[in-house]
Structure 1
Amino acid sequence: MRLLLVEDTEDVAEAVVAGFARRGDAVDHAGTVADARELIALQDYDAAILDIELPDGTGTEILRALRASGKPTPVLMLTARAKVDDRISALDSGADDYVVKPFDLREIEARVRALTRRAGPDRAGTVEIGNVSFDPAACTLSVDGRAVALTRREFSLFETLLANRGRVIPKERILERMYAFNDEPVGTNAVELYIARLRRKLEGSSLAIRTLRGLGYQLVTDP
């Protein structure tokens, strides 16, 4: 997943970024409304995590900008405000969920996974397709009951292909889901490398990765 985090408390931001990065997600971090607007203009996100209180405004302003632009990005609000009216205001402005500070990082991760599931084809926590079982919460993949070890980049790639299965995904889109702006720059040949590795690990499974030359890749059920 490619995520946007808007949080001005540095240690909180570092913890959230590190938590998602461990499971292979790419996270762009902004500490102000202005920086967040710049990122939104450049990139579409699978989900956004927005703090309400920011140095130059509020996360609600970013939320309204997202909704005004027509972007359906699932949004989780972080708030130190305990008042019910404040939470209602965030939800009425277009937020999908909220968490009150202080929070457990595991809850943030679980809520973001839930939000992205609502926007995709898989509502259940674990995805079962033929002899393939994938649990995004536990970061596990198995084929015929055999555990398949994935690196965090492979996990990110598989999650992207699975969420878009049946659809052709260009290399460039896959690349932007695997790497954030602050990551070391890589080319689309990195996608080819990870596709080859993932293909080997999916051998004998009910899924296959098709290459459509000049168009991209497609995850399909292997007949």
Structure 2
Amino acid sequence: MRVLVAEDDDTLGAVLAQGLRSRGYVVDLVADGESALSYARCYEYAVAVLDWLMPRVSGIDVVRQLRRTGARTPVLMISGKGAPEDRVAGLDAGADDYLVKPFAFDELLARLRALQRRPPDVLPPRLVVGDLEYDPASREVTFGGRRPALTSTELSILETLMRFSPAVAERRQIAQHVWTDEVDTFSSNTIDVHLARLRAKLSGSRVRIQTVRGVGYRIVADNGQRLAVP
């Protein structure tokens, strides 16, 4: 799952990025609002964490511009401005949640999980394909009463496929959602290796991960048939 973090405090930005990456997120870290807008135009983010006071373009103006263009990315605004009128201004600008500095990292994680659960029309609480269910907030996968042991990378690939299902997720789209350096990943066989392992771990589920040659992959319900491992 790809997250945008825009924070001009180098120390705080590094701490947030490291903490999120250790929990399976793919993080793009930028230090100003102009860069945040540039990244938001290039990638589809599950969540964006934006500091209010940033150089070039403020976090609140980033939110306003995103909403004017129709972007529906859930936004958590972080700021040292904690007065009620500041919170109101941030939320009215289009932020989905507001967190005052200093804050506990666990609280930030909890708020991100809450944003991933709402609203249902943007990010469904649970993704379902066939008998396979995935909860983005808990990162728990189940099928047939089983909980396969998936790596963080495999979970991110699976989530990407399930969000695109029944459409095809292109190789470049998978790389962008799962790896920080998507260019190197896209041009290597890294995706294929992880997909082979994911298929094996989902053996016995009622889904199939299909290879669309020259394009990418898609996950579909298998009408009760067991998944064949290549």
State the TM bucket, normalised to the shorter chain: 0.7 to 0.9
Aligned length: 220
Contact 2:130 2:220 in 1 (8 A): no
Deviations 1:50-109 (A, max 9, x none): 011124442012112212322222211112222111111111111111112222223322
With normalisation by structure 2, the TM-score equals 0.83
1:180 is displaced (CA, Å) by 2.0
Deviation of the 1:130 alpha carbon:
5.9
Kept in 1, the 8 Å contact 2:129–2:220? The answer is no
Deviation for aligned residue 1:140? 3.3
Q: Match of 1:187?
A: 186
Distance in 2 separating the partners of 1:52 and 1:32: 10
**Separation in 1, partners of 2:163, 2:106:** 22
Counterpart Cα distance in 2 of 1:39 and 1:89:
24
Alignment of 1:98-177 (within 5 A): 98-117=98-117, 118=119, 119-120=121-122, 122-123=124-125, 131-177=131-177
Structure 1 CA distance for aligned equivalents of residues 41 and 131 of structure 2:
41
- Aligned residue in 1 for 2:196: 196
Q: 1:208 touches 1:222 (CA, 8 Å); kept in 2? A: yes
What is the alpha-carbon distance in structure 1 between the residues aligned to residue 37 and residue 123 of structure 2?
29
Kept in 2, the 8 Å contact 1:208–1:219? The answer is: yes
User: SS in structure 2 opposite 1:48?
Assistant: strand
Which whole-Å deviations, capped at 9, do the CAs of 1:139-172 have from their partners, x for residues lacking one?
A: 3334433332112111111121222332221111
What code does the residue aligned with 2:82 have? A
- Identity over the aligned pairs, expressed in percent? 36
Aligned structure 1 segments of 4 or more residues deviating by more than 6 angstroms: none
Map 1:25-104 onto structure 2 (within 5 A). 25-104=25-104
Aligned partner of 1:112: which letter?
L
Partner of 2:228: none
- Cα 1:137–1:47, aligned 2, differ >3 Å: closer, same or farther? closer
What residue ranges of structure 2 are gaps of 5+ in the alignment?
Answer: 224-230
Distance of 1:179 and 1:64 partners within structure 2: 28
Task: Report whether the alignment pairs 1:23 with 2:23.
Answer: yes
| Higher relative contact order structure (alpha carbons within 8 Å, sequence separation ≥ 6) | 1
How much has 1:195 moved relative to structure 2? Answer: 1.3
Q: CA deviation at 1:131?
A: 4.8
Contact 2:210 2:218 in 1 (8 A): yes
Q: Distance in 2 between matches of 1:222 and 1:23?
A: 31
Equivalent position amino acid for 1:164 in 2: F
How far the C-alpha of 1:201 sits from its partner, in A, is 0.5
Q: Which has the larger displacement, 15-24 or 47-56? A: 15-24
Q: C-alpha distance in 1, partners of 2:38/2:158?
A: 29
Deviation at 1:37, TM superposition (A): 3.0
Match in the other structure for 2:226: none
Unaligned residue ranges in structure 1 (runs of 5+): none
Q: Which moved more, 1:46-55 or 1:33-42?
A: 33-42
| Structure 1 counterpart of 2:207 | 207
- In structure 2, the CA distance between the partners of 1:185 and 1:130, relative to structure 1 (3 Å rule), is closer
What RMSD over aligned residues (CA atoms) do the two structures have, in Å? 2.4
Q: CA shift at 1:184, angstroms?
A: 8.4
